[in-house]
Copies of this chain bind each other. A is one copy, B any other.
Amino acid sequence: MKSIRTIDVADLEDIAIGGAILGTGGGGDPYIGKLMAQQAIRRHGKVRLVDVEGFDDNALIAPVCMMGAPTVMTEKLPQGEEIVIALRKLEKFLGRRVDAVLCGEAGGLNSTTPFVAAAAADLPLIDGDGMGRAFPELQMTTFGMHGVSATPMVLSDDKGNSVVLETISNRWTERLARSCTVDMGGSALLAFYPMSGAVAKKAVVRGTLSLCADLGRKLREARARHDDPVEAIRAALGAEIIFNGRVQDVLRRTIGGFARGEANIEGLDGDRGHKMRIAFQNEFLIAECDGQTLVTTPDMITLLEAETGVPVTADAMRYGIRVVALAYPCSEQWRTPQGLELVGPRYFGYDLDFRPFVANAMR
């Protein structure tokens, strides 16, 4: 199989940062993700990033990811290689070896966890994911939109416990997996959504991991050249800067295994005198300026530190940080009626219709 590229220790730095940009506030801490994946590559060797088109229609492909509240994961470091246990237990349950690993969601942590699994299990990793961003619940995948069941699914923890779920719907899987994750201490490692090569070719959001690497590299290079790092990311994403400001307060609660809350940002420079409110459930879901909705899920809201261009996760937000808010369109798959049913504003309890965000439109 032709590799798109081979991923080594140094690349993980870029991928984790790029993942945190696409993670739109969630998807875990990039620092932890990077360390886990680098350690796995040092121990087991480089990872081949491959195109989904290279697989037989009857190949068996398994996404992997970490589940839990980011607030918990930052304090309770995963061992990392439990993800291989989850993958091996899924293979045992299915009675068949997996041919490739796939990324579940883009995020600081979850764009890197598949590298741990791929390196340790010596499997190729498909360049793509099931969201093109991060989302808080596990039924929120393009895999599910293409009829793939999240189960059989294995959850493993750092202590040696594991759970196999077989459910009647991906919503039920989310419910049961969330409780198990909470019991397991707030985070768990998952192998789930097993699918054929034929289905993967339709369901995967393509090129996500290459995009993560590209975003991370551009940020790194802009900083090295003393260019404007925020502009480098904005241009690479085709995004619009919707707000410039300073974080004023953050309300945050970890409930039911999620980090929920909202951040208020007071405007600076051209936005002085204005206020932005960003609501999140692990990920940023809604951005309002002076009470007017500018962007809603599933379109993408990324916060960058104004000086460094480093992405700010919902969990890392705190009083006083200077931030720039970017907005840009999500994968077209999410803008369909089926997509909006899974991840539109009404699913999250907001009484708002989705209006597609158009970058740099006249408003």
Contact = CB atoms under 8 A, between A and B. Distances in A.
A172 interface: yes
A163 B183 contact: no
Contacts of A160: 167-168
Give the size range of A's interface with the partner: 20 to 34
A183 B159 CA distance: 23
Contact of A165 (B163, B167, B172): B163
B179 A168 contact: no
A162 B164 CA distance: 8
A168 B172 contact: no
A17 B89 CA distance: 43
B168 A176 contact: no
Contacts of A165: 161-164
Contact of A161 (B161, B166, B182, B183): B166
Nearest to A180: B176
Among A93, A168, A180, find the residue whose CB has the most chain B CB atoms closer than 10 A.
A180
**Interface majority SS (helix, strand, loop, mixed), chain A:** mixed
Contacts of A159: 168, 172
A175 interface: yes
Contact of A176 (B166, B167, B175, B183): B183
Interface in A76-105: 89, 93
Contacts of A163: 163-166, 176
Contacts of A175: 183
Given A179-B180, A179-B183, A183-B179, A167 B172 contact: no
A329 to B, nearest CB: 35
B161 A172 contact: yes
A166 B165 CA distance: 12
A159 B166 CA distance: 11
Nearest to A181: B179
A198 to B, nearest CB: 26
Nearest to A156: B166
B172 A162 contact: no
A312 to B, nearest CB: 33
Nearest to A89: B166
Interface in A157-197: 159-168, 172, 175-176, 179-180, 182-184
A257 to B, nearest CB: 11
A74 to B, nearest CB: 23
A328 to B, nearest CB: 36
Contacts of A183: 175-176, 179
Nearest to A167: B161
Given A89-B166, A175-B183, 6 more contacts: A160-B168, A161-B166, A161-B172, A164-B164, A164-B165, A176-B183
Query: Closest 10 CB pairs between A and B?
Result: A164-B164, A179-B179, A160-B168, A161-B167, A162-B166, A179-B183, A176-B183, A161-B172, A175-B183, A163-B165
7 contacts: A159-B172, A160-B168, A162-B166, A163-B163, A163-B164, A176-B183, A179-B180
